[in-house]
Chains A and B, each alone.
Chain A
């Protein structure tokens, strides 16, 4: 049961343009969402997060949008740079609950972003 899905395995954009990475989820209990970037042979690097009480969070070139009714979030990178080329993972967690769900991140399969100079 894939609770977090990234349906686009790859995305290619031109330097300076906008990159939009998408993520869908099925578990309505998720209340905290994160995006991570991963380079080969490195661990995931935290980019940006959003709580379910918000619909937008911005940090420099990165903006995450959350549409709770559609159970959809997206990451916008503007402008895209060649150094942004990496695998991007969205992840979700249930922060408001205790018990054994606590602190567990559920990840999507990842989207490979390639930014061409």
Chain B
């Protein structure tokens, strides 16, 4: 069984640039959630993707956007980077049944450390 993988591991960008982070879900999982973890804080929910559509968003501006692909992998895109976007970005995958089925436990990848200068 393959776990959740993320790329790249580390990234350095300058203010105003755009960044794309990638996530491959654990085998058998169909739902991907993204979280931002600032230093000394718990992860904050950005959004979740299910069936290639955004399914719930946290308190993040529209310059944070995402995609989910037919193989359930996902991308997180951040435009117009700000200094406060510097954080660890975590991807988590889970299984969600059809209709209003419950979302199972989320399993996290190792994260991408983004530094904005």
Interface size on B, as a range, is 20 to 34
CB-defined contacts of B55 to chain A, threshold 8 Å: 100, 102-103
Determine how close the nearest CB of chain B comes to the CB of A60; give it in whole angstroms: 17
Are A109 and B56 within 8 A (Cβ)? no
Interface presence of B31 (CB below 8 A): yes
User: Which of B14-22, B37-45, B77-85 lies at the interface?
Assistant: B37-45
Docked CA distance A4–B41 (Å): 12
Interface presence of A42 (CB below 8 A): yes
CB-defined contacts of A103 to chain B, threshold 8 Å: 31, 33, 48, 50, 55-56, 94, 96, 103, 106
CB-defined contacts of B90 to chain A, threshold 8 Å: 43-44
Give the number of chain A interface residues (Cβ < 8 Å): 29
Are A49 and B105 within 8 A (Cβ)? yes
CB-defined contacts of B94 to chain A, threshold 8 Å: 103
CB-defined contacts of B43 to chain A, threshold 8 Å: 44, 89, 105, 107
Given A34-B105, A105-B33, the answer on whether A100 and B44 have CB atoms closer than 8 Å is no
Given A36-B108, A45-B108, A46-B105, the answer on whether A104 and B45 have CB atoms closer than 8 Å is yes
CB-defined contacts of B6 to chain A, threshold 8 Å: 43
Docked CA distance A85–B105 (Å): 23
Give me the interface of A with B, judged by CB distance under 8 Å.
4, 6, 34, 36, 41-46, 49, 89, 91, 93, 95-96, 98-110
